Amino acid sequence: MKFQKDLLGIKQLDADQIQYILKTAESMKKIIFSESTKAPQLAGKSVMTMFYENSTRTRTSFELAAKYLSATASNMAVSSSSVKKGETLIDTTRTINMMGTDCIVIRHENAGAPHLVAQNVDATVINAGDGMNEHPTQALLDFFTMQEQMGSVEGKKVAIIGDVYHSRVARSDAYGLLKLGAEVVMAGPRTLLPNDLESLGVKMYTDVDKAIKDADVVMPLRLQLERQKNCFFPSGYEYAKYFGVNEERMKLAKKDALIMHPGPVNRGLELQSSLYAPDKSVIDRQVTNGVAVRMAVLHLFINRNL
Ligand code: CP
C-alpha cells in the first residue's frame, strides 16, 4: 500500500488506505501489551512533536508510539522556544528539519498550518490537529475503536453531538466514516452546526433525540469554550439539558450502543459524568487505541519507501 510523505487529513486517504492503517494498528496494539514494548520499525529515526496548542492524549501518545518503535522522540516546547521571540512557523520547522528530524508531528491553532510546513520541509509531517480543520489520527483511532467493537462501520449509524462547528474531530470523522459506508448524523444548537457537511451526506438535527434514535454509536463532542468568543448558547445548565448525552437519552439509541468521546470531557456538560466509566463508554479504550494507531501512522508514513 502506497502512502504520501505527509498525513495532513482524512480527506487525502481512500477507504483501502484507512483500512490498511487500521489493520497495521491491530498488530501494533499487540506490541503495547507484549513483554517488551520495544519493536524495531523506527530504529534510527527521529520524531519531533511541536504543539502550538495544548494536548494530553495526542502529544503523549505520539511520543510513546515513537519510543515503542525504537525512534528517538523529542518535544519542542513551543512556550519556551524562539517562537516566543517571533520566529515564523516556516523558519521554526525548517530549523527542526535541518537537525535531521525524520518526522514532525504538529498541532497548530490555524487551519492549514501543517500543510504549509509540509511544503517547506522534507521530513514527514503529521497533522495532530489544525484549527477547526482536521484531526486525522483522532478519527483513525475512532474508526479503530468502532471496528474493534462492532466488526465493521458499514451501514452503522454514528451520531456526533454538540459543538460540531468548532470540531476538527467531527470533520475528520465525517470524511472517513462516509468513505467507510457509515451513516453520519450530527446534532447540536443551530449556532454550533456548520453549513459545509450536509452536502457530503451528513444529516443535521437540532433535536438531539432524533439524532440518537437507533444510533449504533453516540459521540458527544467537547464544548470548545476556548474557541468561543461569542455566546453560542444561553448557559451550561441549558446546554446539558437540551444537548447533553445522558443515561435517559441513551435509551433511544440501540441496545449496547457505543458511547465515545475524543476527550478531554467536560463532565456534566456534554456528557453525564456517570457515563464516563469503562463499563458505560469506550473512552478509555479510545485512549489505548490512540497509541496503536499512531504507531501504525508513524511506521507507514516514515517508512513509506521501504
Ligand atoms: N482528543 C485530543 O486531541 O485530546 P488532546 O487535546 O488531549 O490531545
Q: How far, CA to CA in Å, does 68 sit from each of 14, 29, 34, 96?
A: 27, 11, 11, 22
Q: How far, CA to CA in Å, does 184 sit from each of 4, 217, 287?
A: 27, 10, 22
> Distance (Å, rounded) from C-alpha 122 to C-alpha 206?
45
> Distance (Å, rounded) from C-alpha 190 to C-alpha 205?
8
Among 53, 57, 144, name the best residue to mutate to test ligand 1's pocket (greatest count of ligand atoms within 8 A of Cβ).
57
Please provide the DSSP assignment of 225-275 as one string. Answer: GGG--S--SS-HHHHHHHH-B-HHHHTTSPTT-EE---S---BTTTB-GGG
CA of 130 to the centre of ligand 1 (A): 12
User: Hey, what's the cell of 106?
Assistant: 504538529
CB of 57 closer than 6 angstroms to any ligand 1 atom? yes
Domains 10-134+287-302 and 136-281 in one fold: yes
Q: Comparing C-alpha atoms, which of 179, 253, 255, 176 is closest to residue 219? A: 253
Decide if domain 136-281 falls under CATH 3.40.50.1370: yes
CB of 55 closer than 6 angstroms to any ligand 1 atom? yes
For residue 200, the cross-strand partners are none
Taking the CA of residue 262 as reference, the ligand 1 atom at the shortest distance is 1
CB of 244 closer than 6 angstroms to any ligand 1 atom? no
Task: Provide the residue ranges of all domains of the chain, joining segments of one domain with +.
Answer: 10-134+287-302, 136-281
- Determine the number of helices (DSSP H) and then strands (DSSP E) in the chain: 10, 9
User: Hey, what's the cell of 125?
Assistant: 509531517
Q: What pLDDT was estimated at residue 36? A: 86
Among 55, 223, 227, name the best residue to mutate to test ligand 1's pocket (greatest count of ligand atoms within 8 A of Cβ).
55
Q: What pLDDT was estimated at residue 229? A: 65
Q: What pLDDT was estimated at residue 230? A: 64
Q: What pLDDT was estimated at residue 79? A: 95
Q: Comparing C-alpha atoms, which of 210, 209, 213, 215 is closest to residue 257? A: 215
CA of 135 to the centre of ligand 1 (A): 9
Q: Whose CA is nearest to atom 3 of ligand 1?
A: 58
The CATH T-level fold of domain 10-134+287-302 is: Rossmann fold (3.40.50)
Each residue's pLDDT tens digit in the chain (306 positions)? 999 999 999 999 999 999 999 999 999 999 999 998 899 999 999 999 999 999 999 999 999 999 999 999 999 999 999 999 999 999 999 999 999 999 999 999 999 999 999 999 999 999 999 999 999 999 999 999 999 999 999 999 999 999 999 999 999 999 999 999 999 999 999 999 999 999 999 999 999 999 999 999 999 999 987 766 666 777 888 899 999 999 999 999 999 999 999 999 999 999 999 999 999 999 999 999 999 999 999 999 999 998
CA of 306 to the centre of ligand 1 (A): 31
